[in-house]
Structure 1
């Protein structure tokens, strides 16, 4: 066997062509005694000739000395570099004595390789030019298909109430039943397979599987049906709930806020919500530095239960300390920030009070950026707590504002109002406001000083001086006003449940009126002193566009009118509104208002202090101040009492809305609203909802219209009618 190997190597080194079959036979043939069959006996007529050149089995094919001489010489340095292949010479220095079938030699080297195809030298095509033939559905001819229409069938997800959620996220459903080719349908179906599995896993069906199939229905129709068949399998539940957390006060606080129990389904949404609740609730109960770690759930495929483990670092229990502030352009000092807080130093830390302070700072509109965050001090506090300071980082924003408002209504005409405000001209939060009104029936200017958070949070002090000219159907007046007021008001950023104001006014007014004693119009000048007060209660969900809740408002203003003699009286008003959703897109809104002025006769009242009804904020369908008693020259004269009612159905679709409505109301000469002679106005409105409130356009007409009353009234403004 060894000799056969040698023969192969010799032939190779000599550059001779070795017959592969012979070489393999010499190498691979097993020798007797190694489990191979013995050689077959040689027939007598084929016995070997003693003079033959064929060697026997015991004879060497090549002598050892000749074999060793044929081997190339090797260097004694094992680290020497290999010789160049170019210098290697084929051929033999010795010609072995071997059988002809083995030693048949061919001089020369291996044949040269064939020339490389020119195509291999060409650059690869760009990816944008690469084309893939679309998947072909049996029986569907692509050249005739154009747009392929398909339907989506979902099976198995209804059993676990996932059908609706699946269809909302499905790639097949989002394709609206159309695709450019079958490959697109196939890709969407594969994506929906994965979606179905993810949804089932999210509810605890971890053995859930989904398979998609695409077929024509019927065959050769060109319509395709994509079916997503889901198999939820068994529901996995929690076998144990282990919380790795330190001690808390009270004990078991983390477990109570997590609220996961053995036997609960391994529902991803529920578990994530429970963990989020821990992150939310612990900082509200004295642990501002709580960190919820990564959960671990070990599932058992045989029992379909899972072991739940959650590490929670509750951190040190804390109490409130000082307020510290930093920033290159600070708006408030620490003293004014402390005025806005709703906690006392030493109180147990509550992140809700921190958020409340942040909102109060944002509501001032004086910051470009502002943040409030807890900072550890290492100082011991009450009840085993650590004192935590609040760091306020503040950067001043632009303090000046230009604002404008424009509106139109039949009877009141066009009205535009503009204002310039510097919100912090007199720190802290002392604002100066200059405003003007320009309209077809009203013109005026005013200057206002306003200090927000004056002495205490949410209290506003305001002083105003104004000059105004009004020219309405009921009266014409030139009025100067000086007033002061303390108030607690709602804003779009900070809507409050209780609101109020109280103050004092001094008004000087020159007005015309119809003098019933003289039977003609004349002018007079009145000096009016008033102490107006207001109290409001608001449970609505939005200041400019409420959809649920109610509001109650009460106004009381003791006044004295002086024209020759002092005549005291009181102006009273009570109003209520309610908002009730009846569906996701329809809100029914209602309003009722009652007013009375006891203590003085109507003709002794200045016309500007009487009650009127009609207009966009009153009874739509009628002109401004159009309802109520009229003078012989057919102009409104106002009254000492009124009632108003309104009912709307606010239907919203997207950013648009339609609002049919009916309004009713009347003004009376006496002090009691008797509900007699109620007038109705019917109309419809359009709404465009913006991020700062709805744009309102209302058109209405009066029922049982009387002479000289408006046929159609138009109102355009911002915000709902009430």
Structure 2
């Protein structure tokens, strides 16, 4: 038996250490049984750790060189012992970092067995706790309210385990809080850890060089060419003279980047940091914001195909700074076998207040489907407001002139509606989400004129969720549900293009476009006043470029105002994905499970992006 425990005086031992170099009192003893073979080609072995369980055992096993290199046995007992000694040192350090400053380790090597049996017995002893935690400021001491805020931000408290990682994380938390409390130049001076073996505790002293207290000074923009400076100044989230807050600076930087107007944004002090550090009094340096404008116009093209909807394509032209204040004008033309449209959208950000958008739309849409033919002219104006990072609420006014031909009967409608919406979206991507939840509720009261006035209310809810089954997100489960209802008017009184339809690549795959739901005697879809849809996918990514997606869809459309779940249509199939740098190319092949007479056995879909 030999001991690594330091010799201490009889009086109370107080050892002052840095966390990175804490001295422990781990005891190590060794015993070897059996005879060593002479010059063996290799020496296979097994390692057993006893005395510990759970996460601590898992951690030591993950650190062990004996376990890591087990498949490459050493060629001599000297090499085997070298591995063992390396593990002993590693375990000693790991036990210290977990707060076990009085642990002991004994080991036994039984060379009479094959493979050689190595046993390590670990006695952790009591886990030391945090005693006192002190904050010291050798230079400028912050005001007491700032000190109290730092203590509240600290992630370490008396009684917590004296783990090295937690001690470092607490320092990081304090250092992250200081720039948000008016001290952007703060840095750590020293970290002092005192171990008291009499009380099995650790006293922590953090010393911070805060630098001078700061307030926001004037703002200067460099690099602007076409963007109005006055617009950007209205976006600045802080007031001149307010205490400096790094969180506001980062928020402003994200706002500028997300506008898609700039390829680069840099926010810094105009004065050199060394000059600022020399101050001891509160200062308000100028903030310099340097930007590089990016191209503000984009042209994009898209195309798709399905056996039920045929070929289709669209072209989009976008200008992201139409009037010089990040107004976004988008012109979209779509040409497909079932739909042709030309739509102009404009979106003005930060209208009257931050995070509020004024929106407008003018469009002409022609639809030629098995259910109806229609031509609609539409104009809309609305307000959207973002609340937090994930919520968005909207209200709009919508006027539409709609000419609909259904069953050889032509009707003309004048529609006024007040669409209301609430959306939650924390997905990591729109075209290829691997995480998050999307949910949207839309309610639209309508007033219609067609041979007299009538009204109806249309409500729709849809949601989708994504769950990765492994850390690389190569296996993903995805689910979607949609529910809708129309009340206030009979099905045949409604404009056909305002009813619910289901079936096709964006709803129930395996069935033709709009073919889920009630059908006329000649097989034409009638649409309905209620909708239910659900989809489930298992997305498997194979390597960097390819993926397969088995899926199942279900849906129902009825003429009643609520889903009845009595005539559900099921479709299933297999999808293939080719992953590009911007979005996956989707190819889905589906078949109806409960096929009706006249339904095709196979449907085929091609598009850009995941199905939902």
Instruction: Give your verdict on TM over 0.5.
Output: yes
Assess if the C-alpha contact under 8 Å between 2:364 and 2:378 holds in 1.
no
Structure 2 runs not aligned, ≥5 long: 1-35
Residue 401 of structure 1: aligned partner: 298
1:618 aligns with 2:507: yes
1:138 aligns with 2:34: no
Residue 420 of structure 1: aligned partner: 317
Residue 356 of structure 1: aligned partner: 251
Assess if the C-alpha contact under 8 Å between 1:419 and 1:435 holds in 2.
yes
- Tell me the CA shift for residue 644 of structure 1: 0.5
1:648 aligns with 2:536: yes
CA offsets 1:214-239 (integer angstroms, 9 cap, x no match): 887844xxx56676666656645445
2: CA distance, partners of 1:501 / 1:343: 29
2: CA distance, partners of 1:172 / 1:408: 58
Assess if the C-alpha contact under 8 Å between 1:151 and 1:177 holds in 2.
no
Assess if the C-alpha contact under 8 Å between 2:551 and 2:574 holds in 1.
yes
Distance 1:632 1:596, change over 3 A: same
Residue 406 of structure 2: aligned partner: 513
Distance 1:501 1:153, change over 3 A: farther
1:241 is aligned, of 120, 130, 133, to 133
- Tell me the CA shift for residue 274 of structure 1: 0.9
- Tell me the CA shift for residue 635 of structure 1: 1.3
Residue 254 of structure 1: aligned partner: 150
Residue 594 of structure 2: aligned partner: 704
Structure 1 runs not aligned, ≥5 long: 1-136, 515-520
1: CA distance, partners of 2:418 / 2:37: 85
Assess if the C-alpha contact under 8 Å between 2:347 and 2:360 holds in 1.
yes
Distance 1:296 1:667, change over 3 A: same
| SS of equivalent to 2:512 | coil
Residue 18 of structure 2: aligned partner: none
The number of residue pairs the alignment matches comes to: 556
Assess if the C-alpha contact under 8 Å between 1:354 and 1:372 holds in 2.
yes
- Greater strand share, structure number: 2
2:71 is aligned, of 171, 177, 184, to 177
CA offsets 1:550-584 (integer angstroms, 9 cap, x no match): 7341230525355xx46453451231537596987
- Give TM-score, length-normalised by structure 2: 0.74
Residue 673 of structure 1: aligned partner: 562
CA offsets 1:239-271 (integer angstroms, 9 cap, x no match): 543321224242533334335455544311111
2: CA distance, partners of 1:709 / 1:421: 40
Assess if the C-alpha contact under 8 Å between 2:573 and 2:591 holds in 1.
no
1: CA distance, partners of 2:73 / 2:586: 43
- Tell me the CA shift for residue 626 of structure 1: 0.7
1:504 is aligned, of 393, 398, 403, to 398
Distance 1:616 1:176, change over 3 A: farther
1:569 is aligned, of 430, 448, 455, to 455
1: CA distance, partners of 2:313 / 2:89: 59
1:164 aligns with 2:54: no
Distance 1:680 1:603, change over 3 A: closer
| SS of equivalent to 2:444 | strand
1: CA distance, partners of 2:58 / 2:436: 28
- Tell me the CA shift for residue 409 of structure 1: 4.1
Residue 496 of structure 2: aligned partner: 607
Q: Which has the higher contact order (CA 8 A, sep 6+)?
A: 2
Residue 421 of structure 2: aligned partner: 535
1:472 aligns with 2:394: no
- Tell me the CA shift for residue 212 of structure 1: 8.6
- Tell me the CA shift for residue 719 of structure 1: 5.5
- Tell me the CA shift for residue 423 of structure 1: 1.7
Assess if the C-alpha contact under 8 Å between 1:324 and 1:334 holds in 2.
no
Distance 1:152 1:566, change over 3 A: farther
Residue 481 of structure 2: aligned partner: 591
Assess if the C-alpha contact under 8 Å between 1:331 and 1:394 holds in 2.
no
1:153 is aligned, of 24, 41, 47, to 47
2: CA distance, partners of 1:416 / 1:171: 59
